[in-house]
Amino acid sequence: MKIESRKVMNRTNLTNDEMAALATRIQRNYDYHDGSGLLINKRTGRVVRGTTRNKDNYRSFDFQYEGIVKHLNYHWAVWAWHHGCFPTMQLDHINGIETDNHIENLREVNSSENHLNILLVWNPNAVTGVPGVSPIGRQYRTRIQGKEYYFRDPYEAFYYATMCGKRYRER
């Protein structure tokens, strides 16, 4: 059997039957370790660590399926191992850490809910000294979910933005 080159595996290029068969295969070939949140290959006994290949820091690993080596997101594999199927929507890392694939840290959400949990880089504005707040005339503007809000004080704008779900992390 000839093994083709690596292909990205996602919902768009697999049928529902193929995804169900793949989830069953993941359950058959791997075990899940609760303490570390990692998958263990049943045949070799080795931990499947995965690599972070994209800019989003999501772990992934190569998985051979029907003679084709496919690239599988680690959090998808953990979800499939626990639930016996792949998610129909997006998976969100609740604590915002993309490499933390404990099942307790994963939840199925729609796209807008997933964007609410993004950790922004702490980049203070050069004028205001506050991240996410820029001066507009005598007011200060912040954007929340694509809408602009104006305040008289930059710290009030920052406070409002964080109360509405904007969260920041260190660089």
Q: What is the DSSP string of 104-140?
A: GGEEEE-HHHHHHTPEEE--B-TTTSSBT-EEETTEE
Q: What angle do CA 40, 42, 86 make, to 5 degrees?
A: 65
What is the pLDDT averaged over residues 85-97? 84
Q: Are 11 and 19 in contact (CB under 8 A)?
A: yes
pTM: 0.66
Task: Judge whether 123 and 131 are in contact, CB under 8 Å.
Answer: yes
pLDDT band at 150 (very low <50, low <70, confident <90, very high): very high
The pLDDT mean for the chain works out to 80
Query: Does the pLDDT value for residue 6 go beyond 60?
Result: no
What CATH architecture applies to the domain 4-109?
Alpha-Beta Complex (3.90)
- Average pLDDT of the residues in 20-42: 87
Strand partners, 73: 60
Name the range with the highest mean pLDDT among 70-74, 121-125, 134-138. Answer: 134-138
If pLDDT is split at 50, 70 and 90, which confidence band does 138 have?
Answer: very high
Contact at 8 Å (CB) between 38 and 61? Answer: no
